[in-house]
Structure 1
């Protein structure tokens, strides 16, 4: 099957789910470069004109009302020339950008939603009408959690077209944690952004120190809340106990998992705009490593973490509850080990990368139809 994968951000460190699709689906064609992806895998462009890039930029910036038609013209030509069996669009807005060209070139379209594109208020308002057109045209719509499936149906998607397929995790890379033997290290990984609420994790950990003054919180990631969280650490006089390490590669994150007692993440709906998680890869990776998870009853986390079996879940904003569960696992390393082993088994059974990629392949194949015939 000849797949064309269209996605906006080629170099975003936090979008590991898309990088995994590129790596494991092995698409014959890739397009990146914004919500209207135009950059080909060899660094070229779909615009087949002399001085293609300067002309594209002039049209986009100076004649912005004409740019959608300009883009669709050249994407249609690109699809007709390369004839993919199916196009997988990452994020709803990308699906909307490419759907007219796919229809004109008779290329089946599958759109993969990830989080904000299904829930963020301004996005929903802006794409309300295009989403209806997208849902009607798409052969399949992929969601990463049951909550997201329900939301897309509420937005108008045909339930028969919507497939739940959570992200996969590389269980060979993320492995080897032994919480029962680990020091009192709490690890948190993720962007410093409102829907991950890193400030709530810090405030919960501040309460933990009353009972375990020798505990440490290690936070990996960056984002718009990084500086305010750094200030919070200073204001609470926690510099001796909280380490803000910035962005780290996957191998180093896996090393921190192997040093830690537990993983914590306080995901919540952003009250300002309604944005929320899909299913955070960071939770899956820590679970695969063998760490117990302390998190919130939020989006796909409710499916990835079984309360009392693979970790503990609290309501969004419940800082005290999160602190209490942290204290419980710091008090009881044997319980931390038991929950961590259960967490890894759940990842092997339900979130193994190869299984999730195989399922996504199956969805793409069904969209293309039997015997290579478009449906």
Structure 2
């Protein structure tokens, strides 16, 4: 039987988009052929209990390292190679290529025939830093293929790789569970619970950090309220930027039109998307390109829910929107442009319906998890070729 060792820091119950990406992919592969080697979520009894309970529910084997952050140290490399041999794995998938892909040569010597590294937004940042760029080049040379989320991340990362490694890059974005995120996901119940039944709602689902652009939405609200006075901005998610956002809402005079839900359990997210009339996350690039959106799966989840989307132009975010069809892309940080687009959408139910329906079809056609998991499975099983084209 073909077996794959997944080596990752990004795995539930640790929350986050990369974690959800890896878990959803793993669930759609043959569970008998999967072994996950992951870091511990967090120290302490509560973290240990949550991790143990999660791992026990999985249909595949999960092995946790004692550390909360796997690094390609000699100890971690020895553990990974031991697991590869113990379980008879013939392929390795690095959940995030940097830095764990630096273990690729050792794992190949231990018997791995295929080594795949998935890149996200942070590898695009690595490609801009001299030392990190050199390490990224080594990772590209040590693996059989690096996957990328979209054209933005591909072009940035490829510039740091050897020509041969760049040519081996493969498109593998995260997917959307179209059976979980759909137009009848329970949004009416969330609206009723929050007292928003008869009000226009702009919803933003994301971590509360400066890059995501919730502050831009707050600054856009006065202009939106002038056209649609009952509008509410529903901010779903938790994060370190919440205090700043609440202060900004007060200073802007729109506190009564902003609702913060805090962190929401994953099972309740589809209904919170469904509570909106429009989805907006006008993300922006920060820190000279080091803090950038890799893709923005939230736009696709919103599209699957049947909402038109407003995206910022940071990094790969535009790859998750068909501009003018499923929504619009605006300049990140530009509150006036953001406000103008939202005013148009809130005032045109037919346009919202048309864009939302197109987004739903696009997700069903291109972004389903089963389609993308099949692509990963092919990558993990494909044998490298010799120069004459014959399988090695």
Shorter-chain-normalised TM-score: which range?
0.7 to 0.9
- Partners of 1:120 and 1:219 in 2: CA distance: 31
- Residue 101 of structure 2: which of 96, 118, 124 is its match? 96
Tell me which residue corresponds to 2:374: 358
The separation in 1 between residues aligned to 2:391 and 2:233, in whole angstroms, is 52
TM-score if structure 2 supplies the norm length?
Answer: 0.81
CA distance in 2, matches of 1:215, 1:335: 18
Q: Is 1:303 paired with 2:309?
A: no
Contact 2:97 2:146 in 1 (8 A): no
What residue is the counterpart of 2:74 in the other structure?
A: 69
Q: Return closer, same or farther for 1:31/1:321 CA change in 2, 3 Å cut-off.
A: same
List per-residue Cα deviations over 1:175-205 (Å, max 9, x = no partner): 11699x9841111011112321221122123
Unaligned runs of 5+ in 2: 42-50, 56-60, 188-196
Q: Which residue of 2 aligns with 1:106?
A: 111
Distance of aligned partners of 1:247 and 1:368 in 2 relative to their CA distance in 1, 3 Å threshold: farther
| TM-aligned CA deviation for residue 271 of structure 1 | 2.7
- Name which of 157, 181, 187 aligns with 1:152: 157
User: CA offset at residue 218 of structure 1?
Assistant: 0.6
Aligned residue number for residue 141 of structure 1:
146
Larger RCO, structure (CA 8 Å, separation 6 or more): 1
Cα distance, 1:369–1:175 mapped onto 2, change above 3 Å: farther
Residue 328 (structure 2) aligned to one of 290, 309, 312: 312
Aligned to 1:7: 8
Aligned to 2:87: 82
Shift in Å, 1:316 = 2.2
Q: Tell whether 2:208 aligns with 1:192.
A: yes
SS of the residue 2:259 aligns to:
strand
Matched, 1:24 2:25: no
Deviation at 1:367, TM superposition (A): 5.2
Contact 1:177 1:291 in 2 (8 A): no
Cα deviation for residue 24 of structure 1 reads 2.1
The answer to whether 1:340 aligns with 2:356 is yes
> Residues of 1 paired with 2:307 and 2:169: CA distance?
32
What is the CA–CA distance in structure 2 between the aligned matches of 1:148 and 1:131, rounded to whole Å? 13
User: Structure 1: 5+ residue runs without aligned partners?
Assistant: 47-52
- Distance of 2:233 and 2:383 partners within structure 1: 45
Structure 2 Cα separation of the partners of residues 160 and 205 of structure 1: 45
Distance 2:270 2:16 in 1: 15
Distance 2:198 2:377 in 1: 39
Distance in 1 between residues matched to 2:21 and 2:198, nearest whole Å = 29
In the alignment, the residues of structure 2 paired with residue 182 and residue 207 of structure 1 have an alpha-carbon distance, to the nearest angstrom, of 20
CA distance in 1, matches of 2:221, 2:347: 14
**Shift in Å at residue 240 of structure 1?**
1.4
Return closer, same or farther for 1:172/1:231 CA change in 2, 3 Å cut-off.
Answer: same
* Contact 2:37/2:62 (<8 A) preserved: no
8 A contact 1:265–1:294 mirrored in 2: yes
Report the TM-score when normalising by structure 1. 0.85
CA-based RMSD of the aligned residues comes to 3.0
Which of 264, 267, 290 is 1:251 aligned to?
A: 267
Per-residue deviation at 1:139? 0.7
